[in-house]
Structure 1
């Protein structure tokens, strides 16, 4: 058994979870926040049998889209007072996925 932890953008969460549920993969959804852009993310956790890992990863990959977004750096990044920082282009979205071995699983 494996534990899959996937961090995805809020915009993609509904589609990812819906498709995982259709494949009879149950998930736990956690509201999380990114550190750099401080934008909303969703972290999903699911325990799957080894033979379903590839299917789950494919669903996550197909439903987590990368996007380009413009952001300004926070003032704590060394900007001098009174200067306006130009927005920078940042690639966001997609998914960051961790797959971990599970030694034990209990459902009470």
Structure 2
């Protein structure tokens, strides 16, 4: 068994939740905040059997999309002062796959 921690933008979290339920994956969804843009995220915690890891990652990949967003350059580079907006890529999913030593359900 492995644990998947998937950090996704709030814009993608409802679609991901729907797809995970539809495909029979169990998860816990926690609200979280990104450190770069300080925007809302959701962190999904999933216990997944080894043979279902690829299927779970495909569901995550199909629901979470990258997009471009404009932020002021002072937000990205505080030392630069106020300037023109800078285009940055946001979204998608960041997934960590961790080993699980023991799994118990009560």
TM-score normalised according to structure 1 size: 0.91
Counterparts of 1:14-93 in structure 2, within 5 Å, are 14-72=14-72, 73-74=74-75, 77-80=78-81, 84-93=82-91
Any unmatched runs of 5+ in structure 1? none
Q: 1:94 aligns with which of 92, 95, 103?
A: 92
TM-score normalised according to structure 2 size: 0.92
- Quote the residue 2:105 is aligned against: 107
Please provide the CA RMSD for this pair.
Answer: 1.5
Distance in 1, matches of 2:66 and 2:34, equals 15
Distance in 1, matches of 2:76 and 2:63, equals 34
Higher helix share: 2
Distance in 1, matches of 2:83 and 2:77, equals 12
Any unmatched runs of 5+ in structure 2? none
Number of equivalent positions: 105
- Please identify the structure whose Cα radius of gyration is greater: 1
Distance in 1, matches of 2:79 and 2:48, equals 45
Q: What is the CA deviation profile of residues 21-57 of structure 1, one whole-angstrom value per residue up to 9, with x for unaligned ones?
A: 1111011001001111111011100001111111100
Change (3 A) 1:20 1:75: closer
